[in-house]
A and B are shown apart, each in its own frame.
Chain A
Amino acid sequence: MITVGIDVGSMTTKAVLLNGHEWSSVIRPTGCSPRQSAREAFDELLLKAGLSAGAISHITGTGYGRIMLDFINNAVTEITCHARGAHYLVEGTDLVIDIGGQDSKVIRTDGQGNVIDFAMNDKCAAGTGRFLQVMASALGADVSELAALSRGAEPVEISNMCTVFAESEVVSLLAQGVTKENIIAGIHRSVARRVAAMAGRLGLGSLVTFTGGVARNAGVKAFLAEELGAEIHVVAASQLAGALGAALLAREMAKD
């Protein structure tokens, strides 16, 4: 059986085609039309696999754009999908930390990919991928360079979590002569602290997996490990955990 999961995030759209144990994926920017980018990701996925849409048994959508998709069979929230996807990527995961473009969440699971409890940041961008992006541009860097730039640096205290206030804090730190590297390290630590506080409410699991786009940032990962006092698992495909989880749930749906 072949199924597809499409995760339409605020910044990127991820699509996964799942066939038995084999899976392939597509990542593209969401842009201003979630519906169009999802459709394009789906078409690209089919083209790469040499399949027609008729070969797909079930399509599950997730992510903030899930409700706008007209070609999917059902929609599931990204919380349920990330739990399932993280368990597939790192078996036995019982705490998922997902930091995406516009939100961050901590999901406690039963170790089998099922959600027990979760916490999510409120409606602002504090401690999300967007936060890192705004900080990067204030520092004249690209978000993808942040981890490398701050390696080995001494984190400075960033007290504001609000993206707007933190940006002016960064500007004033630069004016005080604090190095860019130390500021970036401070930003990473502040993101990690915020998420660690959410995790603290749910209880630390025994196997922590970090997913979402920000999982690619080794700086945030290192501070998360420090704040939580736990090993943090990140796999190469961690950004795809939501789409993969959706494809896995699509398979369950198709069987029912």
Chain B
Amino acid sequence: MRPETMRIVDDLRDQNILNLEHAKRDNQKIVGMYCAYSPKELVLAAGALPVSLCGTKQEPIAAAEKILPRNICPLIKSSFGFAITDTCPYFRMSDYVIAETTCDGKKKMFEMLKDYKPMHVLHLPQGTNRPGALKWWTDELYLLKSQLEENLGVEISRESLRKAIKLVNKERLAMRKLHELNKVDPAPLSGLDMLTTLWMKGFNVDVEEGIELINQLAEEVEEIVRLGASPFAAGTPRILLTGCPVGLGSEKVLRLLEECGGSVVGLENCSGFKTVDTLVDEDEARDPMEAIAEKYLQIPCSCMSHNEGRFDLIDRMIEEYKVDGVVDLTWQACHTYNVEGELLSRRVKEKYDLPYLHLETDYSTSDLQQLQTRIGAFIELLNRRKA
């Protein structure tokens, strides 16, 4: 059984673009972002609308490959391709773009993308636990703040920052609550519906409205739980999906996992739980900029060394979501997630004795057959263990 609210969520894309066009017409400033490290609070505090930018579809990759090397990850190629072919409405409408030095491919790609849009590239520290890391990152956010102020012609006050912090925390709590409903066995919401919901909120114009919608969906899902209903049969293997970012258009692995008889109960990746796991400290005695910096620096991305936070989060999710197997998705040529996969594999097998499947693929459909065999065999293996 599928929640009725999902129909509204399905239509959000068209609705969001329309809303954005109206906002644009009313001289509302729009700031595009690529990555979970972009602090949405600063954009909101500047009175602008933060939107996620396109980068999860195969279509613009061919255009990107005319300029970028072919053997870099599809996310970089897709993001770049969308921008240079002017086929991402969010990019087109953005007055300003925030990017960051996560992986090598991205930071170099942004050096070319800056010719297409005014942009600021945040410099991330290489890890989170060095004494200077937080100071560095706070300074970087201050630099972004002054760039936003200059480019958007506004001043970002402490008050507006505090207001934005509260609003985005509220959004995180709503998404966290929705995600955590899938701790119930069998899961009340399919992984695909979960992804669709988490994904679409990135393109929302009105944050409050988006929170309302997520709350409405969560209420409906709670009702499904009360009725003891689920889109999955009892005993369906419960899977935690981790690894590279997944969005609509690049959901083929998630889709296959559920088509082959699994239930994706948790999304650890940065389109999923990773970003809503922690909140920004609302303590008014603190500098709000530092509080924001602290939260974002905790995001456990594989571009950080070491990335212990990811393993800790996966441990918790394995336990809380009663996971039967872990699937780790690496986009082709994403070295950091690819290498980290070996460490994760050992952890999952040794600490939890759980099956772990590492998949390396791109956005194309050319390997669906092979993926289907791998994923099918993995589900067969999980079913046998559960029997």
Does B376 have its Cβ within 8 Å of any Cβ on chain A? yes
Question: Which of A64, A115, A122, A123 is in CB contact (< 8 Å) with B377?
Answer: A115
Chain A residues 115 to 174 lying within 8 A of chain B, measured CB to CB, are: 115-118, 120, 122-123
The answer for the CA separation of A116 and B384 in the assembled complex, in Å, is: 10
Knowing A117-B355, A122-B360, say if A77 contacts B370 (CB, 8 Å): no
The answer for the CA separation of A77 and B369 in the assembled complex, in Å, is: 11
Does B366 have its Cβ within 8 Å of any Cβ on chain A? yes
Interface size class of B (residues with CB under 8 A): 10 to 19
Question: Which of B349, B355, B366, B377 is in CB contact (< 8 Å) with A77?
Answer: B377
The answer for the CA separation of A166 and B349 in the assembled complex, in Å, is: 36
Q: Look across to chain B and name the residue whose beta carbon is closest to the beta carbon of A65.
A: B369
Residue pairs across A and B with CB atoms within 8 Å: the count is: 43
Interchain CB contact under 8 A, A115 and B370: no
Knowing A114-B384, A115-B381, A117-B355, say if A77 contacts B367 (CB, 8 Å): no
Question: Which of A77, A114, A115 is in CB contact (< 8 Å) with B373?
Answer: A77
Interchain CB contact under 8 A, B370 and A103: yes
**Which A residues lie within 8 Å of B369 (CB)?**
64
Minimum Cβ distance to chain B for residue A45 (Å):
24
Knowing A114-B384, A115-B381, A117-B355, say if A122 contacts B376 (CB, 8 Å): no
Give A60-80 as 1s and 0s: 1 = Cβ < 8 Å from B's Cβ atoms.
Answer: 000010010000000011111
The answer for the CA separation of A122 and B374 in the assembled complex, in Å, is: 10
The answer for the CA separation of A116 and B353 in the assembled complex, in Å, is: 10
Knowing A64-B373, A117-B355, A120-B373, say if A80 contacts B366 (CB, 8 Å): no
Knowing A64-B369, A103-B370, A120-B370, say if A79 contacts B355 (CB, 8 Å): no
Does B380 have its Cβ within 8 Å of any Cβ on chain A? yes
Interchain CB contact under 8 A, A78 and B384: no
The answer for the CA separation of A103 and B372 in the assembled complex, in Å, is: 13
The answer for the CA separation of A115 and B370 in the assembled complex, in Å, is: 18
Q: Look across to chain B and name the residue whose beta carbon is closest to the beta carbon of A80.
A: B380
**Which B residues lie within 8 Å of A115 (CB)?**
377, 380-381, 384
Chain B residues 313 to 370 lying within 8 A of chain A, measured CB to CB, are: 349, 355, 360, 366-367, 369-370
Chain A residues 29 to 81 lying within 8 A of chain B, measured CB to CB, are: 64, 67, 76-80
**Which A residues lie within 8 Å of B360 (CB)?**
122
Q: Which of B349, B366, B372, B380 has the most CB of A within 10 A?
A: B380
The answer for the CA separation of A192 and B243 in the assembled complex, in Å, is: 30
Interface residue count for A (Cβ, 8 Å)?
Answer: 16
Q: Look across to chain A and name the residue whose beta carbon is closest to the beta carbon of B379.
A: A77
Knowing A77-B376, A79-B373, A117-B355, say if A123 contacts B381 (CB, 8 Å): no
The answer for the CA separation of A80 and B387 in the assembled complex, in Å, is: 15
Question: Which of B355, B374, B380, B384 is in CB contact (< 8 Å) with A120?
Answer: B374
The answer for the CA separation of A103 and B377 in the assembled complex, in Å, is: 14
Give A94-124 as 1s and 0s: 1 = Cβ < 8 Å from B's Cβ atoms.
Answer: 0000000001000000000011111010110
Q: Which of B355, B360, B372, B381 has the most CB of A within 10 A?
A: B381
**Which B residues lie within 8 Å of A117 (CB)?**
349, 355
Question: Which of A114, A118, A122 is in CB contact (< 8 Å) with B370?
Answer: A122
**Which A residues lie within 8 Å of B367 (CB)?**
122-123
Question: Which of A64, A67, A116, A120 is in CB contact (< 8 Å) with B381?
Answer: A116
Q: Look across to chain A and name the residue whose beta carbon is closest to the beta carbon of B377.
A: A79
Interchain CB contact under 8 A, A118 and B384: no
The answer for the CA separation of A53 and B373 in the assembled complex, in Å, is: 28
The answer for the CA separation of A67 and B372 in the assembled complex, in Å, is: 10
Minimum Cβ distance to chain A for residue B235 (Å):
14
Minimum Cβ distance to chain B for residue A202 (Å):
10
The answer for the CA separation of A190 and B301 in the assembled complex, in Å, is: 36
Minimum Cβ distance to chain B for residue A29 (Å):
19
**Which A residues lie within 8 Å of B370 (CB)?**
103, 120, 122-123
**Which B residues lie within 8 Å of A79 (CB)?**
373-374, 376-377, 380
Q: Look across to chain A and name the residue whose beta carbon is closest to the beta carbon of B345.
A: A201
Interchain CB contact under 8 A, A80 and B381: yes
**Which A residues lie within 8 Å of B380 (CB)?**
76-77, 79-80, 115
Minimum Cβ distance to chain B for residue A38 (Å):
16
Minimum Cβ distance to chain B for residue A180 (Å):
32
The answer for the CA separation of A122 and B355 in the assembled complex, in Å, is: 19
The answer for the CA separation of A80 and B355 in the assembled complex, in Å, is: 14
Minimum Cβ distance to chain A for residue B362 (Å):
10
Minimum Cβ distance to chain B for residue A73 (Å):
16
The answer for the CA separation of A94 and B374 in the assembled complex, in Å, is: 19
**Which B residues lie within 8 Å of A64 (CB)?**
369, 373
Chain A residues 16 to 33 lying within 8 A of chain B, measured CB to CB, are: none
Minimum Cβ distance to chain B for residue A21 (Å):
24
The answer for the CA separation of A118 and B376 in the assembled complex, in Å, is: 12
Minimum Cβ distance to chain B for residue A98 (Å):
12
Minimum Cβ distance to chain B for residue A68 (Å):
11
**Which B residues lie within 8 Å of A114 (CB)?**
381, 384
**Which A residues lie within 8 Å of B372 (CB)?**
67
Minimum Cβ distance to chain B for residue A102 (Å):
9
**Which B residues lie within 8 Å of A123 (CB)?**
366-367, 370
The answer for the CA separation of A110 and B326 in the assembled complex, in Å, is: 20
Q: Look across to chain B and name the residue whose beta carbon is closest to the beta carbon of A76.
A: B380
Further contacts, 12 of them, CB under 8 A, given A116-B355, A122-B370 = A64-B369, A77-B373, A77-B380, A78-B373, A78-B377, A79-B374, A115-B380, A115-B381, A115-B384, A118-B377, A120-B370, A120-B373
Q: Closest 6 CB pairs between A and B? A: A79-B377, A77-B377, A77-B376, A123-B367, A80-B380, A115-B381
List 8 A–B pairs whose Cβ atoms lie within 8 Å, in order of A's numbering. A64-B369, A67-B372, A77-B373, A78-B377, A79-B374, A115-B384, A118-B374, A122-B367
Chain B interface residues toward A at CB < 8 A: 349, 355, 360, 366-367, 369-370, 372-374, 376-377, 380-381, 384
Chain A interface residues toward B at CB < 8 A: 64, 67, 76-80, 103, 114-118, 120, 122-123
